[in-house]
Amino acid sequence: MFSVDNFFSFSPMKSRSTLKHIAEHLHLSISTVSRALKDHPDIAAHTKQKVRELAELIEYEPNAFAIQLRTNASKVIGVIVPEISGYFYHAFIAGLEDEARSWGYSLMILQSGNDPETESANLRLCRMNRAAGILVAAASGTTDLSPFDRTDAAGIPVVFFDKVPESRQFPKVSMADAEAGFLSADTLISKGRKNILALFGDHALSITRKRLKAFQGTFQRHAPDSRLTIRHARSQQESRQITFDAICLEEYDAVFAMSDEILAGAMKAILQRRLRIPDDIGVLAISTGLIPSLYEPEISYIETSGEKLGKRSFEILHKCMSKAAPHGEFLVPATFIEKGSL
Amino acid sequence: MFSVDNFFSFSPMKSRSTLKHIAEHLHLSISTVSRALKDHPDIAAHTKQKVRELAELIEYEPNAFAIQLRTNASKVIGVIVPEISGYFYHAFIAGLEDEARSWGYSLMILQSGNDPETESANLRLCRMNRAAGILVAAASGTTDLSPFDRTDAAGIPVVFFDKVPESRQFPKVSMADAEAGFLSADTLISKGRKNILALFGDHALSITRKRLKAFQGTFQRHAPDSRLTIRHARSQQESRQITFDAICLEEYDAVFAMSDEILAGAMKAILQRRLRIPDDIGVLAISTGLIPSLYEPEISYIETSGEKLGKRSFEILHKCMSKAAPHGEFLVPATFIEKGSL
DNA sequence: AACATTATCGCAAACCTTTGCAATAAAGTT
DNA sequence: AACTTTATTGCAAAGGTTTGCGATAATGTT
């Protein structure tokens, strides 16, 4: 019938493997070829056979651009994060990619660098590429939500995660911060820790306030006689300094760190003072899990899994994309992972 | 002339802002509008003015699909890595994104999970999406390079990074492993360490062999009287066990870890034995930088920066995309970062 | 006044695929 | 024999943009 050679002699390889070429060499119409390849019932079995054979032979691969133009939809999900690196987002992205791939979607990753302007430009990119949906961890400076409105109006669902704005307009998925705070306090109480240095992040951040509120509330309710020393740190260095000063001044039962960054700082101070864990001092953190696994003994922690958040976020976004618009805020539960530090 | 209202009354917002609509409402042809928007000299100044105004008013955003179909090229770079998370790749991706964005490119991130089949599928995805170029950290099981050939034949440049195959066909960019090995040895020697426990990864990996060879060679040449204990570990746990056993049996000057994972294991053993750094024992690692910064004192390390590798990789790929095909292997230099552990 | 130049702009094809509908031929039904 | 079904395939439009070339009118040149 035909060989690879004489096919290619007609059209030299150069990505010229289109429906049209298959059609020409089989003396069929483009539409027939198109239907044959997607197993349309209208097409005769022997025709399908021939088409499939040639398609395989010349390694036909559909042109995504044409399909996307025709259907005006892509299988790409835009992801906008302040930074890819750092303690948290890469885990999120990994989990998200896993889930997305199993549904046939790919990820388009954009960093905002915490700059609302870049964020807006990235959003525009997603619109131009007709992303199927967008996941956003808002830049800390973002107050104007109109760029997101525009995206939403263009029919591209937007779901916020982790750093979510106040607005109730968009679906949001975040860690169960209150639960994590509660669980932290509960764990410390049940381990009999009474005199605790509790390190939190920037008080301006809602995540800090949520965790702190639940943490304090739980102590007041279930162990009002405990001694709680609350401190706030805005960086690893600050956390270290605060911890060091504190443990030099006084003996604590335990140190609690509300995040990986804070934990890293606190651990430095503890290592510097050469305190024994858990005998001299107990340690508990809210964490993604990597950092706690680096010490000896490993640090017990309340897990706020980036992977899980990623998977969950995709689920919510996926619902949004299939017209069944969910609404409100969704929480990824926190769980206690026991290691040897308490 | 016209108002927003009566424009929208004609065509209700629904992402219907195309060149065609601008043309109709301005009684111009599509081509004129297209040219006006890209400041083509053929178009009269006042026409450009009007077009731009309306375009802005209705928030015109070009349809990327149509452009890509027309030009058969996208501004997307495919990135295939074994895993996004882990000690290294997220830093790479972050650096790459930074550089790519400044050139107007976006990233499409795919995980292979170290599975050659998934890798091949991801490659196909990149082809279908006519990626402008592809960066690949090969899955460890990948031996058949034909999927990459096919991509290359389709006119999409492929550049390998980090995990690079033996083949000399594709450009490769990787860390200067030999240099890192040399630098490590040199640093240990110049700090006067004589009895060293040196921990390396899986000997089957080329990265291990390169670093080890340079490391050993340097000692033989510059400090042949040193006592080197070489050990191989395939995981954090193994590294820890090996280190623990070793430092229980004998007193070492220093511990050297050839990677973050190995370092993490070694540090656990050191912490467990409560050895003082750097007095009881010195520590040096080849690392990305995050892990060493978590201990007290921070660990000195030879930096193999994922960010830098990302930026460099983009540069090489960028050259490939502009027909100036570079060739061979490119190395990102390693530098010594001094902290307090030696 | 006849011609050449310049400034603007529109036509139409091309990129590749999908899909409603029409067309054709073969087979079955009365 | 006239008719309806069924099976198979093709036509053509649509999706939005880019671009070579042709068209028109206005201006400049001899």
Query: Mean pLDDT throughout B145-163?
Result: 90
Query: Mean pLDDT throughout A172-197?
Result: 96
Question: What confidence tens digit (pLDDT) does each residue in A308-321 have?
Answer: 999 999 999 999 98
Low-confidence winner among A105-109, A119-123, B149-153 (lowest mean pLDDT):
B149-153
| Higher per-residue confidence, A284 vs A149 | A284
Nearest protein residue to nucleotide C20, judged by CA and C1' positions? A31
Measured in degrees and rounded to the nearest 5, phi and psi for residue A155 equal 90, 10
- Reply yes or no on whether the pLDDT at A10 is more than 60: no
pLDDT at B324: 76
3-state secondary structure chain A: CCCHHHHHHHCCCCCCCCHHHHHHHHCCCHHHHHHHHCCCCCCCHHHHHHHHHHHHHCCCCCCHHHHHHHHCCCCEEEEEECCCCCCCHHHHHHHHHHHHHHCCCEEEEEECCCCHHHHHHHHHHHHHCCCCEEEECCCCCCCCCHHHHHHHHCCCCEEEECCCCCCCCCCEEEECHHHHHHHHHHHHHHCCCCEEEEEECCCCCHHHHHHHHHHHHHHHHHCCCCEEEEEECCCHHHHHHHHHHHHHHCCCCEEEECCHHHHHHHHHHHHHHCCCCCCCCEEEEEECCCHHHHCCCCCEEEECCHHHHHHHHHHHHHHHHCCCCCCCEEEECCEEECCCCC
CA/C1' separation A33–C26 (Å): 22
Residue B12 binned pLDDT confidence (cut-offs 50, 70, 90)? very low
pLDDT at A85: 79
Residue B83 binned pLDDT confidence (cut-offs 50, 70, 90)? confident
pLDDT at B4: 43
Query: Mean pLDDT throughout A99-107?
Result: 92
Q: Which bases of strand C sit closer than 7 A to a protein CB?
A: 7-12, 14-20
Question: What confidence tens digit (pLDDT) does each residue in B29-55 have?
Answer: 999 999 999 999 989 999 999 999 999
Query: Mean pLDDT throughout A252-280?
Result: 96
- Reply yes or no on whether the pLDDT at B212 is more than 90: yes
Q: Is the minimum CB–CB distance between B61 and chain A shorter than 8 Å? A: yes
- Reply yes or no on whether the pLDDT at B170 is more than 80: yes
Instruction: Report in angstroms the alpha-carbon separations of B306 from B94, B97, B287.
Output: 8, 12, 9
Q: A329-332 and B133-136 as β-strands: parallel, antiparallel, unpaired?
A: unpaired
Query: Mean pLDDT throughout A274-293?
Result: 95
Q: Is the minimum CB–CB distance between B249 and chain A shorter than 8 Å? A: no
Nearest protein residue to nucleotide D6, judged by CA and C1' positions? A42
pLDDT > 70 fraction of chain A, expressed in percent and rounded: 95
pLDDT at B268: 97
pLDDT at A4: 42
pLDDT at B143: 86
Is residue A112 within 8 Å of A118, Cβ to Cβ? yes
Give residues with Cβ within 8 angstroms of A314, minimum separation 6.
Answer: A77, A96, A99, A100, A103, A135
A64 CB neighbours strand C below 7 A: no
pLDDT at A1: 39
- Reply yes or no on whether the pLDDT at B117 is more than 70: yes
CA/C1' separation B28–D13 (Å): 23
Measured in degrees and rounded to the nearest 5, phi and psi for residue B240 equal -65, -45
Is residue B28 within 8 Å of B37, Cβ to Cβ? no
Question: What confidence tens digit (pLDDT) does each residue in A64-99 have?
Answer: 999 999 888 889 999 999 988 776 888 899 999 999
* Average pLDDT taken over every residue of chain A: 90
Span between the terminal Cα atoms of chain A, in Å? 76
Nearest to residue A105, comparing CAs of A134, A132, A142, A84? A132
Question: What confidence tens digit (pLDDT) does each residue in B292-309 have?
Answer: 999 999 999 999 988 999
pLDDT at B5: 42
Contact B84 A106 (CB under 8 A): no
pLDDT at B71: 87
- Reply yes or no on whether the pLDDT at A13 is more than 80: no
Best mutation target, A75, A259, A294, to test chain B (most B CBs within 10 A) = A294
A18 CB neighbours strand C below 7 A: yes
- Reply yes or no on whether the pLDDT at B119 is more than 90: yes
Ordered structural domains, chain A, with CATH = 4-62 (1.10.260), 74-174+307-331 (3.40.50.2300), 177-303 (3.40.50.2300)
Query: Mean pLDDT throughout A262-272?
Result: 97
Give residues with Cβ within 8 angstroms of A321, minimum separation 6.
Answer: A132, A133, A157
pLDDT at B198: 98
pLDDT at A9: 37
Residues of A with Cβ-Cβ distance to B130 under 8 angstroms: 63-65
Which positions 262-291 on chain B have a beta carbon less than 7 angstroms from any atom of strand C? none
Contact A93 B109 (CB under 8 A): yes
- Reply yes or no on whether the pLDDT at B16 is more than 90: no
Give residues with Cβ within 8 angstroms of B84, minimum separation 6.
Answer: A90, A93, A94, A97, B90, B93, B109, B111
Burial A301-333 (b: 16+ CB within 10 A, else e): bbbbbbbbbbbbbbbbbbbbbeeeeeeeebbbe
- Reply yes or no on whether the pLDDT at B7 is more than 60: no
Question: What confidence tens digit (pLDDT) does each residue in B273-282 have?
Answer: 999 999 999 9
Contact A68 B65 (CB under 8 A): yes
pLDDT at B325: 78
pLDDT > 70 fraction of chain B, expressed in percent and rounded: 95
Query: Mean pLDDT throughout A11-40?
Result: 82
Q: Is the minimum CB–CB distance between B76 and chain A shorter than 8 Å? A: yes
pLDDT at B2: 40
Residue A52 binned pLDDT confidence (cut-offs 50, 70, 90)? very high
Q: Is the minimum CB–CB distance between A219 and chain B shorter than 8 Å? A: no
Residues 280-299 of A with CB under 8 A from B: 291, 293-296
Question: What confidence tens digit (pLDDT) does each residue in B65-75 have?
Answer: 999 999 888 89
* Average pLDDT taken over every residue of chain B: 90
Identity at B260, one-letter amino acid code: D
Contact B85 A72 (CB under 8 A): no
CA/C1' separation B47–D27 (Å): 20
- Reply yes or no on whether the pLDDT at A241 is more than 80: yes
Q: Is the minimum CB–CB distance between A105 and chain B shorter than 8 Å? A: no
